[in-house]
Amino acid sequence: MAALQLAMASPPPLNNRPPKPSVFTFPFFFLLLSLSFCRTSGQSPTAFACDAASNPAVAGFAFCDTSLGFEERVKDLVKRLTLQEKIGFLINTARNVTRLGIPKYEWWSEALHGVSYVGPGTKFSNVVPGATSFPQVILTAASFNSSLFEAIGKVVSTEARAMYNVGLAGLTYWSPNVNIFRDPRWGRGQETPGEDPLLSSKYAAGYVRGLQQRDDGDSDRLKVAACCKHYTAYDLDNWKGTDRYHFNAVVTPQDLEDTFQPPFKSCVIDGNVASVMCSYNQVNGKPTCADPDLLAGVIRGQWKLNGYIVSDCDSVDVLYNSQHYTKSPEEAAAKTILAGLDLDCGDFLGKHTEGAVKAGLVNEAAIDKAVFNNFLTLMRLGFFDGNPSKQLYGKLGPKDVCTQENQELAREAARQGIVLLKNSPKSLPLSSSSIKSLAVIGPNANVTKTMIGNYEGTPCKYTTPLQGLSAVVSTSYQPGCANVACSSAQLDEAKKMAASADATVLVVGSDQSIEAESRDRVDLNLPGQQPLLITEVAKASKGPVILVIMTGGGMDITFAKNDDKITSILWVGFPGEAGGAAIADVIFGSFNPSGRLPMTWYPQSYVEKVPMTDMRMRPSNGYPGRSYRFYTGETVYSFGDGLSYSDFKHHLVKAPKLVSIPLEDNHICRSSKCHSLDVVQESCQNLGFDVHLRVKNVGQRSGSHTVFLYSTPPSVHNSPQKHLLGFQKVALGAGGEMVVRFKVDVCKDLSVADEVGSRKVALGLHILHVGTLKHSLNVRV
């Protein structure tokens, strides 16, 4: 999301204060809440819409009558507005209409991994000084735990509602980011669930459900409104002179269908998301926010979005002023509205829509349609139901933010995501009783804000890696570098410390100065002299050396992987406010690591050959392809890699060897040899099968394990070498076992996209994989 000309104000001073030593307490602030429900921040300071108690005049308006249906109420509201008033509801800073008792509303709030201060709709104050800051999304995705995705969303929406009630936040959150992490250099890959369409889809739907679903089960109403972004094929910010405002992503229909679109489709269909955000870039020559096929055609037409479509911030301005897509600003306003855009993050539509209507480029009915979608979302949120204190979540307040339970979930999420990449015998876990001295070294060893990544809010408190480790054993600390850029490593003190300690933990990596929005990387190496610091400290160490990589994207750490002196490697993403505690939990064995990489870690040689601007997923003519689904070259670590302190065995209990697809008698494939079949409703109805696996923990420790079910389809339509059909996370005690069940939908799970982007079921031999197990399945007519 958006760091353009639009008031992307710097974070409030609160964030720069030293870490809070403990959880905030709120009794006084809750008293304030009970005294007044007026707005106090980026939201309007006036009374609530349709609050007849404070504004009796609204009692006669049908749009305020909660006994009527939402659509009837919205129609009544829209017909009362003048054209100028309607236009005021096409922009994120929605204007007030005093005569109807409608206050201002700020649509732009963020909640990527906790309530954020990015966006003018939300801020922190002495009333609510911080909110729970969960790990950056890429690490949460590494947990491969669908129930965790939803649980985090539920906590974030509760804290958001609590802040809304005291005027510090909105009800519309432009999260999650479900773009595919296509290229390892992308600065925003950290915000995404990784490179796999299925994982990204499961994350998208789960997090959205957590944010939106109400506790009373009313599916027509929303707790808060989520937004899946950035639609579509957006995964380049600023690389070697090419930026997102000018980039035309040339994408094949096949790649669009089987890589870039699935997370958005799942957001809308499975998650019932209330909003989709179109992106800055063009796709095949058209700005996404002005493409009627992508917006009205797919999101609203095919997928049946129940909600509104919003632009990324100032992207309507960008398509006119930077991409020169239209001849006039009025034409740009008309094209985007007619394409299906409902809300402009920015003021472009506020300035130019009336001119577009007067010029005959767009009619008022199209404006009505857009504001109808916006108002319907606000209706579902209870915005027009008067004082929220009388509504389902009206009693939430500061006491419900940063609760001990919420903070513990942030720690648990980090623990579940941390990936153990290397572990030599007798290295991890360390014993807290036998380690008398621990050297903690590295530029990320005692960081605070680095741990929460971007689109962050002020956290409840921080626990740095040094603090987490120091809570377990006696530590000594040397940063080794002034910062992650590490232009000059300070080796002498670090080596001396490691030489005398029983074990050494090196915490290195990146931060937002290396990978961030508007900042893509040009290489995959650890910055500056970090590799020198690591190698020299490891050489000097007398005990085990644990290398902790704190980054959003993958790094080429081949040198460390192959260094016998480096006994263990952990990737911890940007682990959130409790990251240091979670790292210590894993290192000292109070938590058995179970995270798996949600993206491929490529060698540096890969990015030297592959331009970031090449959107192709599939290999061709010397081009190596992208992601575990298509890339066959060498990796540093692969998608799905991750070790445990236990071992797990799989045994196939049940799976068919043959699936027959029913066809009508005159179908061409009954008389001719077909390699694939169109996915059509008639043939696909109830066409599925079960796969049952027995999973056993054969180790000495309790632990969790992710079971991945992959398929290698027949070689038709340039299909993936393998792709993920499903995953499940199971917890097993030492020696424990259980049966894991997967339901496979043949047309959904075993289909592939053909060259024109149509779904086909490949006929022939499919190979199902789980771990080292393989099972052949013949699909035929």
CB-CB contact of 640 with 196 (8 Å): no
Chain centroid offset of residue 275 CA: 15
Q: What is the DSSP string of 233-280?
A: T---SEETTEETTT-EE---HHHIIIIISHHHHHHHHTT--SEEEE-S
CB-CB contact of 461 with 406 (8 Å): no
Smallest CA-to-CA distance from 553 within 141, 176, 133 is with 141
Q: What is the DSSP string of 635-656?
A: -SB-TT--B-SS-EEEEEEE--
CB-CB contact of 329 with 352 (8 Å): yes
CB-CB contact of 456 with 606 (8 Å): no
Instruction: Say how far apart CA 538 and CA 508 lie, in whole Å.
Output: 13
Supply 452's token pair: 């929460």
Q: Which of 235, 258, 291, 312 is catalytic?
A: 312
Provide the H-helix boundaries in 381-464.
Answer: 404-417
Residue type, 607: V
Instruction: Say how far apart CA 447 and CA 469 lie, in whole Å.
Output: 13
Instruction: Say how far apart CA 767 and CA 681 lie, in whole Å.
Output: 25
* b/e per residue 122-159 (b: at least 16 CB within 10 A): bbbeebbbbbbbbbbbbbbbbbbbbebbbbbbbbbbbb
Q: Cβ–Cβ contacts within 10 Å for residue 107, how many?
A: 28
Q: Say whether 312 is catalytic.
A: yes
Instruction: Say how far apart CA 3 and CA 312 lie, in whole Å.
Output: 10
In sequence order, the β-bridge partners of residue 173 are 109
CB-CB contact of 218 with 165 (8 Å): no
Q: What is the DSSP string of 333-368?
A: HHHHHHHT--BBSSSHHHHHHHHHHHTTSS-HHHHH
Instruction: Say how far apart CA 623 and CA 718 lie, in whole Å.
Output: 14
CB-CB contact of 394 with 447 (8 Å): no
Beta strands at 475-478 and 503-509: parallel, antiparallel or unpaired = unpaired
Instruction: Say how far apart CA 714 and CA 720 lie, in whole Å.
Output: 9
Report in angstroms the alpha-carbon separations of 245 from 236, 238, 335, 614: 10, 9, 18, 17
Strand, helix or coil at 317?
helix
CB-CB contact of 16 with 531 (8 Å): no
Strand, helix or coil at 406?
helix
Taking the CA atoms of 624, 629, 632 and 635 in sequence, report the sign of the dihedral they define.
positive
Reported residue count of the chain is 781
* b/e per residue 625-645 (b: at least 16 CB within 10 A): bbbbbbbeeebbbebbbbbbb
CB-CB contact of 568 with 458 (8 Å): no
The C-alpha R_g of the chain, in whole angstroms, comes to 27
Residue type, 9: A
Instruction: Say how far apart CA 705 and CA 762 lie, in whole Å.
Output: 31
Smallest CA-to-CA distance from 263 within 317, 170, 207, 198 is with 198
Catalytic (active-site) positions = 312
